[in-house]
Structure 1
Amino acid sequence: MSDETTSSLNPSQENVSVEQFADMALDVGVFLLASGAHCGRVFSNIKRLADRWGFPIHINPTFTGLTITVRDGKQSERTVTRYQDAPPHSVHLAILTLFSRLSWQVLEDRLPFDLVKQRIEEIKAKANYSFWLVALAVGAACASLCMLAGGDARNALCTFVAAFTGSVLRIGILKMRFNPMISFVVAAFVTTLIAGIDTIWHIGTSPEATLATAVLYLIPGVPLINSVIDLIEGYLASALSRGLFAAFILLCIASGMTLAITLLGIENF
C-alpha cells in the first residue's frame, strides 16, 4: 500500500533541495526496514521529516526495499523518485527508538538539515549487539522458558548449552554470508541434537521441556508481528512477504528438528 501526505507546515527558509531530502529520507527508510520496523513506522518517521521542510511525499515500502517520491512544495511539477534495496535484516529495536526520537526532535525543534544528516550517520554508526552477549542472552532466555515449562535446574542447564551453541553457530554461518535459511536449518538441527541428549539420558525431571524450549530463540517473532501490523494497516504486499518469509523460517526450523529427532531415535516427542 502507498501513502501520501502533504505538509501543513510552511516550508523552511533553509535551502534544501528535493533531491537532497529524497536521498536522506530513502537512507532513513531502508535502514528502518532493515532494523525491524513495520511499514507504518517507516512512513510516520519519514512523514515527520517531510513536514519539517514542507515536502509532500509518496512512499511504497516493501519487505525488500523502499520507493519514495518527493514533490517540491513550491513547484508541484518538480518531483524526484528514488528506490533502494534494503540491506539484510538485522533486528535492532534501539535503532528504531533513536530514529523515532530524532524525527520528533527534527519536527518540533526545527533542526537544520546538515545537523539532521549528522545525527542520522551517528545512529547508523552505533555498534550492533555483541556476538557473545546475544548468544548468552539467548541461552538464558531459553533456559528460563524451560523452567517455566516445568523443567528443573538440570533441564535448564541443558537448554542453555543447546541454545547457546546453536545461536553461536547460526551467527557464525551468517557471518560467512551463507543463505540465512541454511543457518536456521543447521542451528535447529544442532540445538535439537544437544537438547535431545537430555531426553536420551533422562536428565532432570522434565527432559521433554528441554527439547521443546531450546529452539524457541529461532522463532521469527518480529517478522510475524510486523506481518500482522502491516496487514491491519493495509500494507498488503509487505504483509504477505513478511508472512511467507516467517513461514519459511518455521519450515526450516521444523526440518532441522525433524532430522535431529529422527537421528536420535526419539519416537514419543
Structure 2
Amino acid sequence: MLDDSQKIIEDRKAQSVLNLLTEIGEMMITSGSHSARIVRNLERIAKGLGYNCELVLTYTGIVISVHKQNKFKAHTLAKTIKGKGLNFETISEISILSWDVLINKISIHEIKSILRQIKDKKVYSDLQLYALVPFASVALCMLFDGDWLQSILVYFSTLFGYYIRRSMMLKHHNHMVAFYIGATISTLFIHFIGVFFNIKVKEALVVSVLYLIPGAVMINSFIDYLEGYFESGTARLIYSLMLVLMISFGFFTSAMIFDIPVVNTLFLFDFSQVQAHIKEAFEPQGFWIVVSKLIFGGVTSLGFALMFNTPKRALWTVFILGAVGYLIKFMLLTELEMNLILSIFIASSFVGISGMYFAHRTHTPPIIFMIPAVINMIPGLLSYEFMMGMIDWISNDKGQKPQVEEVIQTFSYGISTVFILFALAFGVAFPVVVFKSYSVKGKDLNVLIKKLFIRNNE
C-alpha cells in the first residue's frame, strides 16, 4: 500500500514537471528562440528538478518526455503551438531561471511564480514602441544615403505600418495578412507623398518595408540547420519566405496603384528644390561620414532591439555592436574595396564573436543582441532593385518581352540578396554553434581572452 501511494505521488510530481517544461517550451518557441537553446534550457530545468528530459521540437509543436533512471517509465506530453512572435526579454529571463533551478534547486511552485512574472512583464510601453521603433527606419534611410526629408517620410510610414501590423498580430489575425497590409500602408504613404510633393523617394522606398523583414526568424532557421534541427529550421525558413512574399506583394500593390496614369497626376506642390537644398546643407563630408555611419548603424540596431523586446540591460551592447559592425562593413567596402558579400560576412562575424564575449558582461544569451546588431546590414537596395525589376516585367502592358540584359541584371540582384542574407546569418550563427558548450555561467571567452593577454605579455 505504501509503495502504491509513493508511486502515485511520484507520478503526480512527474506530471507536474512535464506540464511545467511544456509551458516553458511553448513560451520560448512563441518568443523566437532557436531550437538548441530551448533544448538546453529545458534539459537544465529538468535536471535541476531531478529528472532527465528528452524532446522533439518543431516550429508548431513540442513533444517532451521526462523520466528518472528507467526510460520505460517515462511520462510524455505533446502540444501544438500556434503563436509566433519575438520577445527576447522572455528568452533571457527563462535562461536565467534555468540556471537558478539547476544551481539553487528551487521548487516547482517558485518556478511557476517566476513564470507568471515573466509573462506579465512589459519591457516597453506601447508609446515607447510606437515613438522609438520608427527611428530604426530613419537611421537606415540615412545609411542608404537618403536625405532628412525622406527620413521624415520614413518615420511616419514606419509608424503607420508598424502600428497596423502590431495591432493585427496582438488581435491574433493572420500573420501573413498583417505583414501584407503593413507593407502596403508603408509604401502607399511614401508613394503618395512623393507624387503629391514631387520629391525623390527612392531611398525612402528602399527602407520602407525593412522593419518587416523577418531577419530574426531567418537567422534562427540557419542556426537550427547548423545544429541539426532540420525540421524546425525548414519550417522557420518557409515561414520567413512566406512573410517576405507578403511584403513583396504589399510593395507590388502600392507600385501598381501609383503606376496608374490618373494617380500620377496628383502632383500639387513642387518640393524638389527644397529637397535638393536640404540634402546639400546636411550631407556629411570627410570624417563626419564615418561618424554618421557609426551613429546611424547603432541607432538602427537599437530600434530593432526595441521591436524585439530586448532586455534594457543589453541595449548598450546592441548599440556598440551595431555601430561598430556596420562601420567595419562600410570601411571594408569603401576603403579596401572589398566584395560586398565578404564585407558583410566579416562584419557579421565580428558581431557574432564579440557577442559571445559581451554575453558574459550583460548576463544575457548572445543571440539576443547579435540579431538586432546585424539587421542594419540587410541588403535593402539590392532587394529593392530586384523587386522593381520583377514589377516592371509584370506591369508591362505592351506585351514586350524584357531584354536579356535586364533579366540577367534583375536575377543578379536577387541572387546577391540571397547570398548576403546567408553571409549575414552564417556570420552570426557560426560563433553561437562553435561556442555553444560555453555558457554565461561557465569558463567562457572571458577567461580565454584573459589567458591570451597574459600569454602575450609574458
TM-score bracket for this pair, using the shorter chain length: 0.7 to 0.9
| Structure 1 residue corresponding to 2:39, chosen from 35, 40, 43 | 43
| Structure 2 residue corresponding to 1:214, chosen from 205, 208, 218 | 208
- Note if 1:20 corresponds to 2:13: no
Quote how far apart the aligned CAs of 1:114 are. 2.0
Residue in structure 2 matched with residue 82 of structure 1 by the alignment? 77
| Structure 2 residue corresponding to 1:242, chosen from 219, 226, 236 | 236
| Structure 1 residue corresponding to 2:189, chosen from 186, 189, 194 | 194
Quote how far apart the aligned CAs of 1:153 are. 1.2
| Greater shift in the superposed pair: 244-253 or 48-57 | 48-57
More strand by share: 1
Q: What is the root-mean-square deviation of aligned Cα atoms in Å?
A: 2.1
Aligned partners of 2:62 and 2:81 also within 8 Å: yes
Aligned partners of 1:143 and 1:214 also within 8 Å: no
Counterpart CA distance in 1 for 2:224 and 2:134 is 31
Residue in structure 2 matched with residue 224 of structure 1 by the alignment? 218
**Relative contact order, CA 8 A, sep 6+: which one is greater?**
1
Deviation string for 1:65-101 (max 9, x for gaps)? 211011133x443111101122511211011110001
User: Structure 1 runs of 4+ off > 6 angstroms?
Assistant: none
Residue in structure 2 matched with residue 133 of structure 1 by the alignment? 128
Counterpart CA distance in 2 for 1:57 and 1:135 is 41
Aligned partners of 2:89 and 2:123 also within 8 Å: no
Counterpart CA distance in 2 for 1:176 and 1:108 is 39
| Greater shift in the superposed pair: 51-60 or 125-134 | 125-134
SS of 1:141's partner is: helix
- Higher CA-based Rg: 2
Structure 2: any 5+ residue segments left out of the alignment? 1-9, 265-384, 389-458
Q: How is 1:51-70 mapped onto 2 (pairs within 5 angstroms)?
A: 51-70=47-66
Counterpart CA distance in 2 for 1:80 and 1:177 is 32
| Structure 2 residue corresponding to 1:72, chosen from 50, 56, 68 | 68
The residue type equivalent to 2:141 in the other structure is C
| Structure 1 residue corresponding to 2:160, chosen from 154, 160, 165 | 165
| Greater shift in the superposed pair: 100-109 or 175-184 | 175-184
Relative to the length of structure 1, the TM-score reads: 0.87
Residue in structure 2 matched with residue 256 of structure 1 by the alignment? 250
Counterpart CA distance in 2 for 1:172 and 1:110 is 40
Quote how far apart the aligned CAs of 1:128 are. 6.0
Calculate percent identity across the aligned residue pairs: 26
Counterpart CA distance in 1 for 2:124 and 2:116 is 18
Aligned partners of 2:134 and 2:155 also within 8 Å: yes
SS of 1:17's partner is: helix
The residue type equivalent to 2:216 in the other structure is V
Closer/same/farther in 2, CA of residues 132 and 112 from structure 1, 3 Å limit: same
Number of residue-to-residue matches in the alignment: 253
Deviation string for 1:139-171 (max 9, x for gaps)? 111011001111111110000011101111112
